[in-house]
Amino acid sequence: MASSSSSSGIMRYHVFPSFHGPDVRKGFLSHLHNHFASKGITTFNDEKIDRGQTIGPELVQAIRESRVSIVLLSKKYASSSWCLDELLEILKCKEAQGQIVMTIFYDVDPSDVKKQRGEFGSAFEKTCQGKTEELKQRWSKALAHVATIAGEHSLNWANEAEMIQKIATDVLNKLNLTPSRDFDGKVGLEAHLAKLNSLLCLESDEVKMIGIWGPAGIGKSTIARALDNQLSSSFQLKCFMGNLKGSLKSRMGVDEHDSKLWLQNQLLSKILNQENMKIRHLGAIKERLHDQRVLIILDDVDDLKELEVLAEELSWFGFGSRIIVTTEDKKILEAHGIKDIYHVDFLSMEEALEILCLSAFKQSSVPDGFEEVANKVANLCGKLPLGLCVVGSSLRGQSKHVWELQLSRIEASLDGGIEDILKVGYDRLLKNDQSLFLHIACVFNHAVVDNVISVLSDSNLDVGNGLNTLADKSLMHISTDDHIVMHHLLQQLGRQIVHEQSDEPGKRQFLTEAEEICDVLTTETGTGSVIGISFDTSNIGEVSVGKGAFEGMRNLRFLTIYSRLFGGEGTLQIPEDLEYLPRLRLLDWIHYPRKSLPLRFQPTRLVKLRMRHSNLEKLWGGIQSLPNLKIIDLMYSRELKEIPNLSKSTNLEDLRLDYCSSLVELPSSIKNLQKLKILNVDYCSMLQVIPSNINLASLERLDMIGCSRLRTFPDISSNIEVLNLRDTDIEDVPPSVAGCLSRLDHLNICSRSLKRLTHVPLFITNLVLKNSVIETIPDCVIGLTRLEWLCVERCTKLESIPGLPPSLSILEADDCVSLKRVCFSFHNPTKRLSFRNCFKLDEEARRGIIQKSIYDYVCLPGKKIPEEFTHKATGRSITIPLAPGTLSASSRFKVCLLIFPNKEGGYEGISCSIRSKEGVKVQSCKLPYHDLSFRSKHLFIVHGDLFPQPNNYYEVDVTMSEITFEFNHKYIGDKIIECGVQIMTEEAEQQEIGQL
């Protein structure tokens, strides 16, 4: 196993620490390990290894399987031949595989290490007694080398805890593991993660399964998601299976075996990222994953069978795999043989008060005068985080008297559990806000805010202000991408409130339980009370209903039918002669089974029609009056042959027909859609006819990617800002159209059909001609006065770029294998120039590219660092002597790296660390991202600021006599074979521009 993991390049540890145990193990090192664990940094632990005279194969392998080695140099470090041999192996890995090496000088002077003098030197000489002169010299050179690697000095820090924090931050930055900020401010979370990392024992090759156990609302899912966020970068294959509760309950019409197959399919689809997988036997997980190192999190398990189906045995997964299970029931974990169980206990009083105060007072401590009442509220909320947030938010801004009035209500909820505690927040809402809460809980959780406002615009609910109220009271929040998000316990509370409206499902306001919905539809017992149905068909099998299924639900406004999980095969079959479908505001039906909507359906009130993956061939016949309709989304309806007459859908804003591969034409009636903003017909591969000579006043974006039969340039709006025509059969831009597109900002016309370009809209800023067969950049492009980004990647016949617009900021010409000549007809600095794998560039073109003044980077084939880089060195680091007066606070640098051919560059920035002679950090940054996979040696040239900008708030040292640059890369650090640096004074930059 050891050899196989080593040869496959597995990096099992983030950090390997090399240290002298008696000096640091019980103090500094233990604190450093704990802090690393809390940050998700996996550290090799040698406590179970017997130390002999030489380091054994386990340690050698651990060093080789670590991404970073930290050499912790203390006064007695050199007293151990073991430590010195570790150091030799670490530097060998640094040289051979580009391992990152960091140093910590603990109570020792770096110069004493370098020259082996003082107490450090005495220890070294004693260790060398009886050893060969050759070994002594190897150790001596290693110490001299490692002493020059800039690191932290304990003597420079007054506070050891702050130094440890700084070291952890530096490690995270080098690993590119800076955690998401989604979990910032979560009280107590860091302590949970530290304890769980100890249980997970990530340095072990064993397959481990651990449980996270605790009551509802305690924060198990939050902890699991934070773990997922923290650990996922260490696993190539990972999967978070959320909210598994009830996932294996009997599916109507499906036997238990098929239900288990279905659940296994969910896991494999997610972890292998293959949406349409089909498995045929229950050995599939073991078959696919037995030799893979995986991270699997199974959240909210409530049935032992779920565990048996998804992770029955450790042997199902490869070495080093970790399976994490959260549940409210400890017996499930025990019955499955899980011994490592982490109990998420109730918060301490201090933590409970902090959460309550953050929610109620926007501060972490209790205000004067509220101490007693706040303590009582925290106790009565059961010290549950979600309950504290909701109750605290509901009391925000209230007087102490109001807090005291609420105590009795909260106290009365204790016997009912967390739902009743959360209900305190609901009960304090105004009637309309309560109604909006129920709408979200039953239908609109995870919906886009603007869509919800539109769909509910005919109600008496003030949706905009209502959403703000609910968010202020922690009853939901709005995500960064403008989706409504309600915690599943609050959603459960809302649905429970609706459930209590009547013992008969058909008489409730909303229907959300699949079995009840099936019963109501098959028995036709729905009434006018029902206004919304949210029907998850994942577990129903196939259910057929009669023609009167919706007859009694005259007030139904929202109908959503969907499958929650990958591969859910349940379908609702409706008869062709369905007599009645109510006047809906929202119709969202995934996998709609019939060829058209029911004949008697009247869509006049529809605001949103979403029917993805449907069997529709058409929606309806004739002309329908649709004054409210704003969105039509029929994506992946591959049988769709026609779009109805939309002349009376004058408020339509968004029409999405992506992947409707049987659609041949768009109707002329779209000329009436003067409010249409987005039209997407991507990959409508049969589409040939689109209306022309019309002008849609509001159209901002038109996407026609992959419409391979489309030969006519679209002429439907002069107001388009984004036009995507990639992989169409269009050969040129007609002058009549080009002159009209005065607002067009982005034009993508990359296609092998594009043979020439005689006209281009005048004011575009982004132009993509990738994959075309043009041979030269035409005058119409050179003359563009606002063009900022030009992409001609993989234009394999392109031989010449005779000129470029002076406004150009980015030129991407990668893989233009015939390109010889490039002329820059302007002197303005550009942002980015990329000529990756352009092997035929002539010397004049290469010189012009290299000398161009840039802000980000230049990339082109090359075999040596250009002469103008006066400071050069082999490898990934270079030290430059500085004459007095060389630097100023605004100094910049120019770097050229020579990179060896490689296939795995990836979109990942090269890290650049700049330090002074004394090891003080001057600057640490990521050089701009670029695909660094090359078929030959390449030059990568970058400009940057020597000091962080702006620096007017602190002093910078411009008197340094020496400066060291060190470069690294997550994947190809060992491919950086030479580097050159220029320090660009203001005068030098002006001179460079002048030379052009």
pLDDT tens readout for residues 515-532 = 999 999 999 999 999 999
Told to judge if 978 belongs to the known catalytic residues of this protein, a careful annotator would answer no
523 contact partners, CB below 8 Å, separation of at least 6: none
- The domain in which residue 973 lies consists of 860-995
Residue labelled with tokens 């068909």: 537
Q: Is residue 900 part of a domain?
A: yes
Please check whether residues 768 and 885 belong to one and the same domain.
no
Contact 53, 59 (CB under 8 A): no
Give the ranges where 118-159 is alpha helix by DSSP (H). Answer: 118-128, 133-146
Instruction: Kindly state whether residue 288 falls inside one of the protein's structural domains.
Output: yes
Same domain, yes or no, for 193 and 276?
yes
> Are 315 and 363 in a shared domain?
no
Catalytic residue, from 47, 58, 65, 86: name it: 86
Q: 61: how many CB neighbours lie within 10 A of its CB?
A: 16
| Any domain includes 702 | no
Distance CA 783, CA 760 (A): 10
CA nearest neighbour of 70 among 31, 113, 99, 50: 99
Report how far residue 899's alpha carbon sits from residue 914's, in angstroms, rounded to the nearest whole number. 20
How far CA 857 is from CA of 654, 728, 833, 909, in Å, comes to 39, 32, 6, 11
Place of tokens 């190897």: 138
* pLDDT at 854 (0 to 100): 79
pLDDT at 1: 28
User: Are 410 and 454 within one domain?
Assistant: no
Distance CA 977, CA 109 (A): 31
3-state helix, strand, coil in the chain (%, to 5): 35, 20, 50
By C-alpha distance, which of 840, 976, 838 is closest to 900?
Answer: 976
Please report whether residue 619 resides in a domain: no
Same domain, 336 and 356: no
Residue type, 472: D
Which of 500, 532, 556 delimits the end of a domain?
500
Give the whole-angstrom CA distance, residue 114 versus residue 144: 4
Spans in the chain with pLDDT lower than 70: 1-11, 38-40, 47-56, 96, 173, 176-185, 203, 233-234, 236, 248-255, 273-276, 382-383, 408-418, 421, 565-570, 826-827, 904-909, 929-930, 949-956, 970-971, 985-996
Strand-by-strand arrangement of the 911-916 sheet: 877-881, 962-968, 911-916, 921-926
Q: 937 exposed, middle or buried (CB, 10 Å; 0-12, 13-18, 19+)? A: middle
pTM here is 0.64
* pLDDT score for 584: 94
Q: Please tell me the distance from the alpha carbon of residue 152 to that of residue 144, in angstroms, as a whole number.
A: 17
Does any domain span residue 536?
Answer: no
pLDDT for residue 509: 97
Cis amide linkage into residue 950, ω under 30° from 0 = yes
Residue 855 burial (C-beta neighbours within 10 Å; 0-12, 13-18, 19+): middle
408 with 284, same domain: the answer is no
CATH code of the domain containing 472: 1.10.10.10
Alpha-carbon gap, residue 457 to 470, rounded angstroms: 18
Structure tokens, 518: 């099936």
Provide the β-strand partners of residue 631: 608, 654
Rounded Cα–Cα distance for residues 340 and 212 (Å): 9
Q: Are 825 and 803 in contact (CB under 8 A)?
A: yes
Lookup: tokens for 512: 């959300």
Contact 295, 321 (CB under 8 A): yes
Q: What H or E segment, with its residue span, contains residue 914?
A: strand 911-916
Asked if 871 and 981 sit in the same domain, the reply is: yes
pLDDT of residue 176: 54
Residue type, 269: S
Residue in 904, 919, 934, 927 with CA at minimum distance from that of residue 981: 927
What total number of domains does the chain contain? 6
Q: Dig out the tokens for 381 from the structure.
A: 């909320």
For the chain, the distance separating the N- and C-terminal CA atoms, rounded to the nearest angstrom, is: 58
Rounded-to-integer distance, Cα 679 and Cα 672, Å: 14
Token digits of residue 173 = 């930055």
Residues 289 and 410 in one domain: no
Identify the residue whose tokens are 């494999």: 268
Q: Extract the tokens encoding 466.
A: 């209502």
Find out whether 224 and 299 touch, Cβ atoms under 8 Å.
yes
User: Domain with 71 in it: what CATH number?
Assistant: 3.40.50.10140
Backbone φ, ψ for residue 293 (5° rounding)? -85, 115
Residue with tokens 């060829």: 595
Evaluate whether residue 264 is within a structural domain.
Answer: yes
* Backbone torsions φ then ψ of 254, nearest 5 degrees: -125, 130
Q: What angle do CA 165, 168, 174 make, to 5 degrees?
A: 140
- Pure H helices in 759-807: 779-782
Same domain, 275 and 316: yes
Whether residue 135 is found in the same domain as residue 33? yes
Please give the C-alpha separations between residue 340 and each of 198, 343, 650, in angstroms, as whole numbers.
10, 10, 62
* CA dist., res. 798 & res. 575, Å (int): 58
Helices marked H in 385-472: 385-394, 400-412, 418-427, 431-439, 449-455, 463-472
Report the candidate in 245, 186, 197 with the shortest Cα–Cα distance to residue 219.
Answer: 186
CB 835 within 8 A of CB 861: yes
Our CA angle for 11, 13, 16, nearest 5°, is 120
User: Which residues does residue 854 pair with via DSSP β-bridges, in sequence order?
Assistant: 830
The CATH number of the domain where 409 resides is what?
1.10.8
Alpha-carbon torsion (909, 915, 920, 923), positive or negative: negative
Element (H, E) at 986: helix 986-995
877/749 same-domain check:
no
Quick check: is 765 in a domain? yes
The total number of residues written for the chain in this structure: 996
Q: Is 983 helix (H, G, I), strand (E, B) or coil?
A: strand
CA dist., res. 74 & res. 124, Å (int): 12
CA–CA distances in Å: residue 844 to residues 2, 791, 818, 856, 897 = 52, 22, 15, 22, 21
The domain that holds 222 is classified in CATH as 3.40.50.300
343, 363, 390 - which closes a domain: 343
In a domain, 604, yes or no: no
Contacts of 224 (CB under 8 A, 6+ apart): 212, 240, 297, 299, 324, 326
Residues 329 and 397 grouped into a single domain: no
Q: At what angle do helices 400-412 and 371-380 cross, to 10 degrees?
A: 20
Give Cα separations from 31 to 37, 173, 374, 949 (angstroms).
Answer: 10, 20, 34, 33
Q: Which are the contacts of 453, defined by CB distance < 8 A and separation ≥ 6?
A: 463, 464
562, β-bridge pairs = 536
What are the structure tokens assigned to 11, written together? Answer: 């990096």
Question: What are the two backbone dihedrals, phi and then psi, of residue 4, each rounded to the nearest 5 degrees?
Answer: -65, -40
* Amino acid at position 34, single letter: N
pLDDT in tens, 3-37: 333 333 456 788 999 988 777 877 788 888 877 87
Pairing of strands 892-899, 976-984: antiparallel
Inter-residue contact 98 to 875 (CB < 8 Å): no
The candidate with the shortest Cα–Cα distance to 81, out of 24, 109, 123, is 123
pLDDT of residue 49: 58
Residue owning tokens 């022309």: 692
Return all residues near 159 (Cβ < 8 A) that are at least 6 apart.
none
The helix/strand/coil state of 879 is strand
* 8-state DSSP, 928: P
Name the domain boundary from 300, 316, 343: 343
pLDDT of residue 657: 97
**Closest of 74, 56, 160, 170 to residue 113, by C-alpha:** 74
What are the pLDDT digits (tens) for 85-108? Answer: 889 989 888 776 778 889 999 888
